[in-house]
Amino acid sequence: MPLPTITRGIGFRDDYLNVTGWTADSGVTAASDGDILSLSGTTASNGFSRSILSLSLFTAIYPNILVRTTGSQIDLRLSGSGSETRTVTIPTTSGYATTLITPNIADLSYSSIKWLNQPVSGRTSIDFILFFKELLTLPTAIQPLQEQDVSIMPVIPIVGRQGGVVQYLGSMSPRYIIAGGLVNTTSGQSGWTNTYTADQWWQLLKGVWIEQNTVQADGNPTWQWFSSDNINAKVLLNYAPQQVPGRLAYHDYALSLTEFNILGLSTANLPGISY
């Protein structure tokens, strides 16, 4: 399996808890269930847009955009504070998929974003749009990536009975554990996409941990997007680096990632399978 990735340096996100700040052109229908945007009726000109110029999202600082969608093909139009625009086509998917966009707009502020140009009768569900600094490929993973799904099942003792009564109260959010080494990495080698020293990796992951303390405009903490072969999730994290005295350019680390979901889990959303 390739090394997992995680975003860092969130400049702006819309998690589509609602449609506040967005404008629907004539014929466009947009609604949120509190987590997912359902969009239909866009054309080559009429769409669903919002201004982001006031956020000062300079393209040189936030060169990456991640969107997660399912359903019909749709275009995303990105406009700069000058006259420059880029239109990116998000392909049709039968299940949720992320698309990483590097629009290569000149060093300007993004001024607006607009969804448009669906097929006739098309419908697209959009989970989020995320502007961020960098996608980090973790340096190494020396232990299996573990998922922990924990149900809350207290046992109530009954006087005089052998065996208690189990109460099912729901479950905790899924948690993922990954551990490895922080080493010097060079982009393009060994599957790495970032060039950092082991010491810089120590501080980068600490920065990701600190960043989640920033509350976004929707009132929620700054989650990151974590991705591996089988796990794709919004996560908050705990971080535990270790340094062995006398050992240079190699540190141990462990990440405990807790999945951040707006709505409850459902078997209908299991990726890659119809349950």
CA nearest to 203, candidates 164, 241, 247: 241
> For residue 149, what pLDDT band results from cuts at 50, 70 and 90?
very high
Q: Which of 120, 136, 152 is the last residue of a domain?
A: 136
Taking residue 158's Cβ as centre, other Cβ atoms within 10 Å add up to 10
Q: Which of 109, 136, 163 is the last residue of a domain?
A: 136
Cα–Cα distance for residue pair 43/258, rounded to 1 Å: 39
Q: Is the pLDDT of residue 95 over 90?
A: no
- Average pLDDT estimate for 12-32: 97
- Does residue 128 share a domain with residue 18? yes
Cα–Cα distance for residue pair 136/132, rounded to 1 Å: 11
Would residue 87 count as lying in a domain? Answer: yes
Q: Which residues are 148's β-sheet partners?
A: 175
Would residue 275 count as lying in a domain? Answer: no
- Does residue 201 share a domain with residue 113? no
- Does residue 259 share a domain with residue 204? yes
For 85-89, 114-118, 141-145, which range has the lowest pLDDT when averaged over its residues? 85-89
- Does residue 191 share a domain with residue 130? no
Q: Where are the alpha helices (DSSP H) in 116-232?
A: 198-211
- Does residue 193 share a domain with residue 183? yes
Domain count, the chain: 2
Q: What is the CATH number of the domain that holds 195?
A: 2.40.30
- Average pLDDT estimate for 153-157: 95
- Does residue 254 share a domain with residue 169? yes
- Does residue 167 share a domain with residue 126? no
Q: Which of 91, 121, 136 is the last residue of a domain?
A: 136
- Does residue 162 share a domain with residue 93? no
- Average pLDDT estimate for 49-72: 93
- Does residue 62 share a domain with residue 149? no
Quick one: pLDDT at residue 40?
97
CA nearest to 180, candidates 2, 3, 8: 3
Would residue 53 count as lying in a domain? Answer: yes
60, 120 contact by CB (below 8 A): no
Quick one: pLDDT at residue 54?
87
- Does residue 192 share a domain with residue 84? no
Would residue 274 count as lying in a domain? Answer: no
- Average pLDDT estimate for 72-83: 87
> For residue 85, what pLDDT band results from cuts at 50, 70 and 90?
confident
**Nearby residues of 249 by Cβ (< 8 Å), 6 or more positions away:** 183, 184, 197, 198, 199
> For residue 87, what pLDDT band results from cuts at 50, 70 and 90?
confident
Would residue 114 count as lying in a domain? Answer: yes
Cα–Cα distance for residue pair 181/198, rounded to 1 Å: 9
Q: Is the pLDDT of residue 243 over 90?
A: yes
Would residue 199 count as lying in a domain? Answer: yes
- Does residue 189 share a domain with residue 200? yes
Quick one: pLDDT at residue 133?
97
C-alpha angle 76/92/98, rounded to 5°?
A: 65
Cα–Cα distance for residue pair 50/27, rounded to 1 Å: 17
- Tell me the residue range of the domain where 264 lies: 137-269
Q: What is the CATH number of the domain that holds 58?
A: 2.60.120.260
Would residue 179 count as lying in a domain? Answer: yes
Quick one: pLDDT at residue 269?
77
